[in-house]
């Protein structure tokens, strides 16, 4: 029985080690790993795969290569269709898509060329990266360590026999146990890092709301609901261009803009690294919200911070009815947007086309937004290319991106 328990314990530890190796080892030799959560590269790269990406010079990228690149707050892995060497732009396309991606990829947004990919391992990596996954791994190693040590007294009495067995097997169980314990403490450290990041972000934005935001408790005009001292926020960080408030919700955050979609992906307004990052405006937009189409990104956090509660538009009945407007407050103006469409889309979708202008092309774009909406939303007017649209974008549980679209209905 003791031998069976020790065997089970060793197997549990080995399972955890095998699960972590595909995530940890590639980073040691210069690769980054990403999980594939959409089917745009099927059947070549199935959903749930893990891809290994290595940085390359622009001159090393060729047509037909598979590259990974940043697209707003997302990482996309698609195949190279063509290359504009003068502008250093790359046209990409998912193998499963009928047409090329809407916008060419600037080389500055390329993370690297995809060298290897393995099915299913992306799902494993995704699970392990979550708090519940780390807890499961810790429990498995602890249980494995306990079972592996079963019958230690008996083993001490038969030390010579055990020594012979170790020599024959060629594997020292203590090495396996040590490796498992390293994973346990590494997982604990990762779990604590994520938790502290959540706490740090929540504390920061709660303090900003307390110090620089005033909310009216009386039923007044929309522009009296909230006042924000944007000028003081800009004194803290000049990249602050305004404040986003989805009426009646906890979505109340500063909007950052740097022209680089990577900068605030995992960075707070005060420059600290954090999983939640910041709410930020698409780098190709103008920072004064003058474009016909603006895109604002935010993470879909599990504790419902940042854009975590946007999912309620598609999961809760009557949520839109009670939360139909959002505001962008700048240092000198207030803009109110009425939501007219929301749906899931691909990470490299046509939805992210910016900046647009008053044109037939933009009129067609608005028509597509209306056509794809999950609900036929009554807004009391007919939209046209003269309207200005702002899109709120976040990750979706469907493995795609969830977008909420509002048109500028009032300015104060």
The pLDDT tens digits of the residues spanning 329-377 come to: 999 999 999 999 999 998 888 999 998 999 999 999 999 999 999 999 9
Tokens found for residue 126: 């995704």
One domain for residues 17 and 81: yes
Which residues make beta-bridge pairs with 38? Answer: none
The pLDDT tens digits of the residues spanning 369-409 come to: 999 999 999 998 999 999 999 999 998 865 688 999 999 99
One domain for residues 272 and 337: yes
pLDDT at 117 over 60: yes
Task: Name the pLDDT band for 171 (thresholds 50, 70, 90).
Answer: low
Q: Are 402 and 321 in contact (CB under 8 A)?
A: no
Q: What's the rounded mean pLDDT across residues 21-34?
A: 79
One domain for residues 262 and 325: yes
> What are φ and ψ of residue 320, in 5° steps?
-60, -40
Which of residues 192, 213, 234 is at a domain's end?
A: 213
**What is the number of structural domains in the chain?**
2
Q: What is the pTM of this model?
A: 0.70
One domain for residues 255 and 137: no
One domain for residues 288 and 257: yes
One domain for residues 180 and 254: no
Looking at residue 403, which CATH number applies to its domain?
A: 2.40.260.10
The answer to which of 190-194, 281-285, 349-353 has the lowest mean pLDDT is 190-194
The pLDDT tens digits of the residues spanning 306-318 come to: 999 999 999 998 9
One domain for residues 222 and 202: no
One domain for residues 252 and 168: no
**Confidence (pLDDT) at 365:** 96
Task: Name the pLDDT band for 219 (thresholds 50, 70, 90).
Answer: low
State the virtual CA torsion across 114, 117, 123, 127 in degrees, nearest 10. Answer: -60
Q: Are 266 and 274 in contact (CB under 8 A)?
A: yes
One domain for residues 190 and 248: no
One domain for residues 110 and 145: yes
pLDDT at 12 over 60: yes
Which of residues 213, 240, 256 is at a domain's end?
A: 213
Which of residues 175, 195, 213 is at a domain's end?
A: 213
Which residues have C-beta within 8 Å of that of residue 251, sequence separation ≥ 6?
Answer: 244, 245, 306, 307, 309, 310, 326
| Domain hosting residue 393, numbered range | 216-411
One domain for residues 338 and 352: yes
């Amino acid at each position: 029985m003791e031998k069976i328990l020790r065997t089970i314990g060793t197997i549990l530890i080995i399972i955890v080690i095998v699960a972590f190796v595909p995530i940890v080892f590639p980073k040691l030799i210069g690769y980054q790993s990403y999980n594939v959560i959409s089917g745009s590269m099927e059947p070549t790269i199935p959903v749930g795969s893990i891809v290994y990406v290595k940085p390359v010079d622009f001159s090393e990228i060729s047509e037909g290569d598979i590259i990974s690149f940043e697209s707003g707050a997302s990482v996309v892995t698609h195949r190279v269709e063509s290359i504009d060497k003068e502008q250093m732009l790359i046209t990409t396309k998912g193998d499963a898509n009928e047409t090329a991606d809407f916008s060419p990829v600037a080389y500055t947004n390329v993370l690297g060329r995809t060298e290897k990919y393995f099915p299913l391992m992306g799902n494993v990596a995704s699970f392990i990266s979550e708090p519940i996954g780390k807890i499961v791994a810790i429990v498995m190693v602890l249980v494995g360590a306990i079972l592996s040590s079963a019958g230690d007294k008996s083993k001490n009495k038969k030390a010579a026999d055990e020594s012979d067995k170790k020599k024959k097997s060629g594997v020292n169980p203590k090495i396996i146990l040590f490796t498992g314990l390293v994973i346990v403490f590494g997982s604990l450290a990762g779990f604590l890092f994520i938790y502290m990041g959540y706490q740090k972000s929540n504390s920061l934005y709660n303090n900003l709301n307390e110090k620089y935001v005033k909310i009216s408790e009386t039923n007044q005009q929309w522009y009296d609901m909230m006042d924000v001292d944007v000028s003081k926020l800009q004194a803290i960080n000049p990249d602050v261009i305004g404040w986003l408030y989805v009426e009646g919700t906890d979505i109340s955050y500063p909007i950052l803009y740097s022209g680089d979609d990577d900068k605030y992906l995992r960075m707070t307004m005060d420059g600290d690294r954090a999983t939640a990052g910041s709410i930020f405006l698409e780098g190709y937009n103008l920072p004064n919200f003058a474009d016909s189409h603006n895109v604002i990104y935010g993470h879909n956090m599990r504790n419902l911070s940042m854009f975590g509660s946007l999912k309620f538009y598609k999961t809760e009945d009557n949520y839109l009815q009670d939360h139909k407007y959002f505001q962008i407050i700048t240092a000198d103006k207030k803009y109110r947007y009425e939501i007219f469409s929301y749906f899931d889309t691909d990470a490299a979708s046509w939805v992210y086309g910016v900046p647009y202008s008053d044109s037939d092309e933009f009129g067609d774009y608005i028509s597509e937004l209306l056509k794809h909406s999950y609900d036929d939303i009554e807004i009391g007017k007919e939209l046209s290319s003269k309207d200005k649209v702002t899109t709120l974008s976040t990750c979706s549980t469907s493995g795609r991106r969830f977008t909420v679209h509002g048109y500028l209905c009032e300015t104060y």
